[in-house]
Amino acid sequence: MAQDDSFKKIVSHCKEYGFIYQSSEIYDGLSAVYDYGPYGSLLKNNLKEYWWKSMVQMHDNIVGIDAAIFMHPKTWKASGHVDAFNDPLIDNKDSKKRYRADVLVEDYMAKIEGKIEKEITKAKKRFGESFDEEMYRQTNPRVVANLEKYNAAKDRLAKAMTDNDMADLKAMIEEYDIADPDTGSRNWTDVRQFNLMFSTQLGNIAGEEGKLYLRPETAQGIFVNFLNVQKTTRQKIPFGIAQIGKAFRNEIVARQFIFRMREFEQMEMQYFIQPGSQKEWYDYWKKTRMKWHEALGTPGDSLRYHDHDNLAHYADAAVDIEFKFPFGFKELEGIHSRTDFDLGAHQELSGKKLQYFDPASKESYVPYVVETSIGCDRMFLAAMTNALVEEEVEGTGNTREVLKLHPALAPIKCAVLPLKRNDDKLTGKAQEVFNSLKASFNCQYDDVGSIGKLYRRQDAIGTPFCVTIDFETLDDNTVTLRDRDSLTQERVPIEKLEGIIRERVDMANLLKQL
């Protein structure tokens, strides 16, 4: 399936089956803001539970908090967000469309990368077994020329971003002949910086004094609580604080569904460490977080590391875990070695010591921090991208749409379906089975349609098990248990259902792999 088509398919599937709706749809929607529907909110909660347990439950030195969205405005001065949380913005004068200048250059680079990969795939086919990819990359004139072009653009972009050189960003767009992706126009304005924080006003204080920001990241709520948490939980360094919560960014371009939203949710963990040990912990969290993704069954070639070329103002090392979304490899999660930047800045601006007393060395110091930060909504999109499959049902000539989510993530674990809806005995028995399972799992009773249709619907929302109640059930208390993925149907006694389902859908199955 073409990339565009598979993306459209995911978006329409999310809407049709009650996963995600456009916010305020009856008023034609609010751009880049989305609401999670009944199945979407269940799936999102399961993703959050997996992340939370992998941090807080699986580590005796990581604790969780739930800080407020509003924070003292000085927080954002200290963190650098007031002065430096900007994106370079450019407008097309003809189409009146607005873009991020750095993203336009990145898209140009991705096109060159695409050309290189195409060339290599063709050569692989041509030379077969004897193909030496490394040698080809170094010697094929077209590949070499494109690689040079790519690297030159990459270095220049990194420099322009680090130096805040908006004029050079504009020059790049002109020199690379970059056109408006929608209209092809090259009539651009200058590039200017745009601060991404949303602001609002405290009711009882007028002017700048009362200006509040909606937090653009959850991390700062952790930093300002560092000593509260350390003292009240008696943690010793190294230890971590985890948090899941909403964040808000006034994104310039927000066109990729829940990939880039103006209101979204982050799952962040700050790991407080001794200065000097940051390399060791950075490597540890890089590996640990990759394992978390792999445990879900995400194919290895859909995930990759991408080291940052231009480091944020707070970081001494940073890497993204990128996922192959339908529109290409993009950031899913960031792992950042943030040094003592944040705690140091808060200490300075607040005048309050944010130091840790090391009982062993009897020294006090401002800890360093390694952070892992993943967007819950991007993770949702990644899970949908992996899971949504259209496949032929063997031997029938029919196709089915099935959401092959890991059973621990599936919104509904088990559907209870009577073979016929107008038979009171069957529906009564089905209700009885549903009632016996509902305290253990999210189950669904459904009798609206033929059994084939009911199966298709459960496949589409990713339900790992369907239990069918038929006439035999009335005689011997056995049911047909249908497996979503293998489509096998086995006869099992009702009293064994709970155990069989639990074994497959238990979140511990994921956590034990970490």
Of 299, 383, 433, the residue nearest 46 (C-alpha): 383
- Any contact of residue 455 with ligand ATP (CB under 6 A)? no
CB of 321 to ligand ATP, least distance (A): 8
- Comparing CB distances to ligand ATP, the nearer of 139 and 162 is 162
CA distance from start to end of the chain? 33
CB of 27 to ligand ATP, least distance (A): 22
CB of 123 to ligand ATP, least distance (A): 32
Number of residues that bind ligand ATP (CB under 6 A): 16
CB of 261 to ligand ATP, least distance (A): 4
Cβ contacts of 357 within 8 Å, gap of 6 or more = 363, 364
- Amino acid identity of 458? Q
> Is the previous residue joined to 299 through a cis bond, with omega within 30 degrees of 0?
no
- Any contact of residue 303 with ligand ATP (CB under 6 A)? no
Partners of residue 65 on adjacent β-strands: 243
Site residues for ligand ATP, 217-276, by CB under 6 A, read: 217, 249, 251, 260-261, 264, 266
Annotate each residue in 304-343 with x if it binds ligand ATP (CB under 6 A) or - if it does not, as one string: ---------------------------xxxx---------
Partners of residue 305 on adjacent β-strands: 321
- Any contact of residue 293 with ligand ATP (CB under 6 A)? no
CB of 284 to ligand ATP, least distance (A): 19
Cβ contacts of 85 within 8 Å, gap of 6 or more = 76, 195, 196, 197, 216
Question: How far is it, in rounded angstroms, from Cα 322 to Cα 335?
Answer: 11
- Any contact of residue 106 with ligand ATP (CB under 6 A)? no
Annotate each residue in 68-97 with x if it binds ligand ATP (CB under 6 A) or - if it does not, as one string: ------------------------------
Helix and strand tally (H, E) in the chain? 18, 23
CB of 373 to ligand ATP, least distance (A): 4
SS3 452: helix
- Comparing CB distances to ligand ATP, the nearer of 310 and 431 is 310
The four Cα atoms 391, 394, 397, 403 give a dihedral, to 10 degrees, of -20
Site residues for ligand ATP, 377-396, by CB under 6 A, read: 377-378
Cβ atoms of 190 and 166 within 8 Å: the answer is yes
Residues that bind ligand ATP (CB under 6 A): 217, 249, 251, 260-261, 264, 266, 331-334, 373-375, 377-378
